[in-house]
Structure 1
Amino acid sequence: MAILLYDVPSMLCTCGARKTYPNNVQDSMSNCLCEPAEAKVNCLCSDLNITSVFESEVENRLPIRRPWLNFYAAKDDPSTVAATVPSLVTAELLVHLKDSFDKTVIKVTESVCKVNNAILQGCYSCPQGAIANITCFTNGEPTIASIRCHDHIFTTPCHREGTSFTIIYGSEKARVHQECEVSCGTTITTFELTGVLQWTRTIHGTMKRIVNGESNVYDEIVLPDFLHIFDVMVTWYKTILIVAACLIIAIVISYVFFWMFGSRILMGGAKLLCRVIYGAIMLCLCSVSSPMKAVLRAWKERSLAKKRL
């Protein structure tokens, strides 16, 4: 359960819940209009609807996720808030010993850890950051690998069969192409972390956080990645210009081709059409005249036969 903390008002009222649950009840700033009345004070106060504050505002409810820290309700006691660190970093320890030793045993593990390329998903210039799912492999015993991506450092468990791990990466740029180093010994391997992140901030959300006192103007002055926006617009314009150029070239070629060879094509087409029509007519006449010629030939033969008789 998340708790809103307000300034303690100058006038408090007796509350039964305060005695029963002294650790779970917090004072809320009361908006009261008070008037004196003999030995008492009559106050007309407007109640603070805490339920609506928790139900309507996402930032007032658990879990709260940040790239470096997460807040959750404890499983054994929901009224207790537990904080977890998503990814820890390695530390170098330097120990000075004043005593002398007769014998020392040094064991050095030279494991090689590798991580496959990963894709970032999420937003940039936002509190929650972007996430990437990685898998770490090692050729030796299970160990802990250190990952360095420029200014970001993570640690992840590694195993022969591979161990999945989620890293949270905070970026101020929309397009991320980062080469990261992985080491669990003296050997360093690399992998690429890439992705195109989204811009999720809005003017309405910024003004709302400032008015509610959840942030200040300085922290909210965050501009989008105009260079990425310009690159996208240039890419769109290039595509539009290429299509327009192809269309213009096609129109010009068609225009020139029509004026140079249009009349010849039309005359040739007309002649071809006339020949087709003439051939069709002749074919029809032939198909009609052939039976008539056969009938006339038969009639002439009969006439000659009668004259001979």
Structure 2
Amino acid sequence: MNGRRRLTGLIAGLTLAAGCGAGGVTSAESPGSPESPGTAGVASPATPRVSPSPRAGLPRRGEVARIPVPAGGVPVISSIPTKRKVVFLTIDDGWEQDPGFLRQVRDQRIPITVFAMRDAVEATGSPDAASGGGRYMGAGGWDYFRELRDAGAPIEGHTLTHPNLRTLGYERQKAEICGMSTLIRREVGRRPALFRPPFGNYNGDTTRAARECGIKALVMWTATVQPEGKIAYQVPDKRLRPGDILLLHFRPNLARDFRVLVAKIKRRGFEIGDLGAYLKAGGVRVS
């Protein structure tokens, strides 16, 4: 594994990645759950291993409508403009590093996008109640996220310490966003193109800081995934729609809940799409 240490002493078999916070839900299969920020952490350099991206869920020619990009700014995206029955899986933070989740992503080549937060990846600070207490809490650190990268999952930014960005001024927001981008570049070998604000809270300073940090889009969501793979919708009809972006977190029982979620999505006749490929097809320059 190119000289990187294995995690077999801590995790029975494999390694993989992380978790975050969510916004309000108006209707759901199950209620949402809160989250809270952490504090600090440092990590070590790494060399990326070249690995093919998942080939599932790529856009067809002409399928994706143009995504508006504000002049001099970055778009804020909650769903992808497509009529195809395809949804996108994203996962935030990084507390519960369940090897079973990694196995599913890697072996089944399921496209996901990871939004990593430093304090969660490095298991420093105080995790929110929903993310704490898992069997694999902080088990792999950045090695786990490098395994996710090697499985084809892009590692994007979610701040260093998970603050409510609306309570911070421009310079502190920029430090959180740029600091995490720099750390991810050092640890996984690629600077993030996407950013998800903690709790879904952002303002004009956030988008301005994100642009200065090289971010191409803020990615929000249309539904959250709760324990046992239940989907909490932000629409009153409680159903998946083409282009939905779903938000998961690195929480206890992640492998089980992810398996239930993927089966549910397929039963409803949806594919799981490659978010980066769809954004690129819509005109957002993610690479």
**TM superposition score normalised by structure 1:** 0.18
| Larger proportion of strand | 1
Give the greater-gyration-radius structure (CA): 1
Which structure has more RCO (C-alpha within 8 Å, separation ≥ 6)?
A: 2
| Larger proportion of helix | 1
